[in-house]
A and B are shown apart, each in its own frame.
Chain A
Amino acid sequence: MSMTVMTVDDSRTMRDMVSFTLKGAGYQVLEAEDGVEALSILSSQKADIVITDLNMPNMDGITLIKELRSKADYRATPILMLTTEADDTKKAAGREAGATGWIVKPFNPEKLLAVVKKVGGI
């Protein structure tokens, strides 16, 4: 059974790229525009991995991570955050919230797959 990855990003381009790359590698992909939408989708569908942007309207990535970690289903789900540059304060905030790891933008597809594989294990 293939894994389901949710990509949360307010940029359609980013969502498309993530989604395209992952689908190409055989993952199922769910898309959400912001934290609020992500939570609402995840309440009815299960994702094995979540990749979220940090800066988004309505609900940002950090809050989303905290929200997810507070849910029994997502306590140990790998959650990756997308950051630009190696922003240490952002990384620390994400880590604090319970993020598994991070992907630095811009990323190439190979790198994305490698990271997803690393945290997802397949």
Chain B
Amino acid sequence: MDQFKQTYFEECEDRIQDAEEGLSMMLDGDLDKDTVNRVFRAIHSIKGGAGAFAFNQIVDFAHEFETVLDFVREGKLTPDRDMCTLFLRSNDVVAEMLSLEQSKKTIPESIGANLLEELRTITSSMKGESAPAPSSEASNNDHPTSENFTWSIVFRPHEDMLKTGNEPYFILQALKELGDLKVTTETDNLPSLHDIHAEHCFIGWRLTLKTSAPEEEIREAFDFVEDLCDLEIAKQNVPPGDLPERRKAENRRDSDTPQARRKEDRDAQENAPKASKSIRVDLDRIDQLVNLVGEMVIAQSMLQEQVRWLPPEVGGKIGEGVEHLTRHMRDLQESVMAVRAQPIKSVFTRMPRIIREVCAAVGKDVRLTTFGEDTEVDKTVLENLIDPLTHMIRNSVDHGVETPSERQAAGKEPYGTIELSARHRSGRIIIEITDDGKGINRSAVLKKAQEKNLIPADHQLTDNEIDNLIFKPGFSTADKVSEVSGRGVGMDVVRKNVTSLGGRINVASTPGKGCVMTLSLPLTLAVMDGMVVSVGSQRFVLPTINIIESFRPPHSAVSKLSNGVNVIIARGDYVRLVPLYNIFGIQDAVLNPEEGLVILLESDNGEKLAVMVDDVLGQQQVVIKSLETNYTNVKGISAATILGNGDVALILDVPGLSSMNASIDIIEEYQNALKAVGQIKITPTKKGGKTDEESAQEEDNKEDESAEANETNAIEDNEDHPPKDEDAEEGKLTHE
């Protein structure tokens, strides 16, 4: 039975959401038949399953709920906003009961007791007008039973009985199972052959049945045809003794049987044809698939790397094969990722309830509109999105939207509006929460941040920077910790959660008009397209979606500002130029921009940035290995990956880079991260896969690394006066 329970709970989750959506529409005045019916069906279906598992409290509650909904469905009852709210709360109760059942806890009597009363009151007031009174299968069991009565039965089907698919022969068969049956066929009504209609029944039967079964069981055989035939059932002799209720007791046993039978049934189940269009698959299995595909991508890029070294007469054909493989790998990978993708709807639909709860707690009125619910995103991302999004929504209602009276004083509608939207943009999902509340009080935020020493007192901040202070650890805008969004966790936790998903969060506020909080998250956490670049002997990966172009800058394009920041003219704009060798302390890199390459990047928020590298090595799909699980978060680095030749490369975090300056801390962290990731080079074995030259180079790398780690002073020096040779001096020409 347990295996069905699991399905049941999963299904109920969908049902609850269905009901909730429908009820929310009803709350907004949509009493369309389809809407009401959808809610009714959801609750009805939950009740049906609950009955099968003997979740009696759920059955009782759902029954009352359903009864009231039925009145609405039949148009006998028109619910107002209050009643719709009652329905929504009832739905919440059903959800809670289900989750208690699922965790195998007992449902306390108190849950939903008030609501049950209210629902009953509605029902009884309705019943006054119309009493449908669902009749139960009450059996009048006062016929004493005994062994072997003899029954005379006359059974004359009406002409059209066969049209309902009822087969008289089967009914006789069922009777035969009850005991000893003698059948006499009546053919009196049989017309002449000419008039016989193949689909009409013209014959009847006289039966004599010797059985111990009670009359009700005999009647049961005729259950479906009572109204389709003439039927007489009469007892022939007088009962010699009683044997009451025995069969009843036997029937009770039935509910235990499936468990006992399950094992043998497996085979039968597997052979049966499956007509369903979708199946539920355990997430672990999909993850295993995703991992395997990830490993295959690595293996394939190793293969690609090796083919390059083959002489053309051999390599040509193999290269072609590898080319095909690459294409198919990409398709395979996209298909696998699509399996994991789910519409964000499942997260969005949780939000109305949260808003209701918060509104009730703080006395506000907020309406929610959602857009882009069908936007798909990886399931893991989706699941990890629930908490931050819930928190942000709570925060918007609690701190963003004003109370009705405040709103009216400000000349706004008494109810606030929160808009939740999702869309895809350049390989990421962008979620926006827009409220029309009071916005962020910048002077208060700034004052608080200074009080708490989150920023230096004399620091000049832009408006946007001030707004985003709310994400700083230790910052909480509410004067006192509130019931709703307080509890000691603040927006900094939200940011931490989002960042750990490779996402970013930003808030933009217009005082008096409201806030827009923007979440940007990767669509998948497993694979991405990257450009592999070299800086000295190090390899880095730049996310392809961030790359605009790469070019070798002319002499005049690079300038150094007075604060030491390099800028470069790209596409007519001054863009900050970040020399990667400088930030990560790589010594054997090209120092002169004119000899290396500049790659122009754009981060998700549209900000442009240029990085300086030695060379571009190629574009490939890389499997993302989280840095955090292996080491810790390093600024400017989002993750690590393993390249075709087995080397570890770090994946650069573009927005992170734009705010970075070279510092000893980062160089050290970076060196440590590289070592930590280097130790988990799991997949590719490098045996025999490398030329001597490469191995030698690798040895050099190791020496370099340790040298760098020990000589941080030298690096710092290097930073202030980076060019050591004449060429480089020229390359860094300073324009004012």
Contacts and interface: CB of A to CB of B under 8 A. Distances in A.
B171 interface: yes
Contacts of B264: 24
Given A23-B265, A45-B275, A85-B136, A106 B51 contact: yes
Residues of A in contact with B, size category = 35 or more
Contacts of A17: 4, 52
Interface in B36-61: 37-38, 40-41, 44-45, 47-49, 51-52
Interface in B4-37: 4, 7-8, 10-11, 37
B171 A20 contact: no
28 contacts: A11-B49, A12-B7, A12-B10, A13-B11, A17-B4, A19-B272, A24-B262, A24-B264, A24-B269, A28-B272, A31-B276, A32-B275, A55-B41, A75-B163, A75-B199, A78-B166, A78-B167, A79-B165, A86-B136, A99-B164, A100-B165, A100-B166, A101-B223, A107-B52, A118-B223, A118-B224, A119-B167, A119-B170
A21 B165 contact: no
Interface stretch (B249-257, B413-421, B452-460, B658-666): B249-257
B173 A121 contact: yes
A73 interface: no
A21 B261 CA distance: 9
Residues of B in contact with A, size category = 35 or more
Given A100-B224, A106-B52, A28 B273 contact: yes
B510 to A, nearest CB: 43
Listed residue (B37, B136, B166, B272) with the most chain A CB atoms within 10 angstroms of its CB: B272
A56 to B, nearest CB: 8
Given A31-B275, A45-B273, A101-B223, A110 B251 contact: yes
Contacts of B40: 55
B275 A14 contact: no
Contacts of A117: 174
Interface of A is mostly: mixed
B164 A108 contact: no
Contacts of B135: 85-86, 88
Contact of A109 (B47, B171, B254): B254
Interface string B260-279: 01101100110011111100
A121 B272 contact: no
Interface of A: 6, 10-17, 19-21, 23-24, 26, 28-33, 37, 41, 45, 55-57, 69, 75-79, 84-88, 95, 98-102, 104-111, 117-121
Interface in B219-257: 221, 223-224, 227, 251, 254-255, 257
A119 B173 CA distance: 10
Contacts, number: 143
A43 B4 CA distance: 29
Contact of B273 (A30, A69, A108): A30
A17 B6 CA distance: 12
A26 B162 CA distance: 26
Contact of B254 (A20, A41, A110, A118): A110
A23 B4 contact: no
A57 B163 CA distance: 26
A98 B49 contact: no
A84 B165 contact: no
B309 interface: no
B591 to A, nearest CB: 64
Contacts of A86: 134-137
Contacts of B223: 101, 118
Nearest to A69: B163
A120 B251 CA distance: 21
A49 B8 CA distance: 25
Q: Which 9 pairs between the two chains have the least Cβ-Cβ distance? A: A106-B51, A101-B224, A110-B254, A100-B165, A121-B170, A24-B265, A13-B8, A13-B49, A78-B165
A105 B273 contact: no
B4 A20 contact: yes
Contacts of B41: 10, 55-57
Contacts of B227: 95
B165 A98 contact: yes
Contacts of A30: 273, 275
A79 B49 CA distance: 22
A85 B276 CA distance: 28
A32 to B, nearest CB: 6
B165 A23 contact: no
B275 A76 contact: no
